[in-house]
Amino acid sequence: MKHLLVLILSLALYSCGHSDKTSTAEILAPKEFAAELKSNPEIILLDVRTPEEVQSGFIVGERNIDYNGAGFEKALDSLDHSKTYFVYCAAGKRSGKALDLMKAKGFQQVTSLEGGLKAWTASGLPIQKP
């Protein structure tokens, strides 16, 4: 019984400290996300919202690839997996899923915007209207 308890505790501690995400896949708060975008012109900004959502406003410099679109995975496959990508959506759910998918596809550096465009605008950061 004692050995079983030690085993369970060891597994619990290991799983808390272990992540299957690489150190280059992360989530940043809006101001940090914006600062990184500004400091590194090589970052490719992906907006994974629908084209209709993009019409309400977007972060300048984005490239739209609709997460819900039929060609999303094919569009990802056509991207250079060694580049740095910052991904956002409306509230963070789709960009988090996109981050996980991109990581699984072998992308080297992917970062998601915590809270999506809603958090971005709530932080007072600018968006562009079409």
Written as tens digits, the pLDDT of the chain (130 aa) is 544 433 343 434 333 333 444 445 699 999 999 999 999 999 999 999 999 999 999 999 999 999 999 999 999 999 999 999 999 999 999 999 999 999 999 999 999 999 999 999 999 999 999 8
Backbone angles phi, psi at 113, to 5 degrees: -85, 115
Strands of 84-88's sheet, edge to edge? 25-28, 109-113, 84-88, 44-47, 62-64
Domains of the chain with CATH codes = 21-122 (3.40.250.10)
Report the alpha-carbon distance of residue 82 to residue 85 in Å, rounded. Answer: 9
Q: Of 120, 124, 121, nearest to 29 (Cα)? A: 120
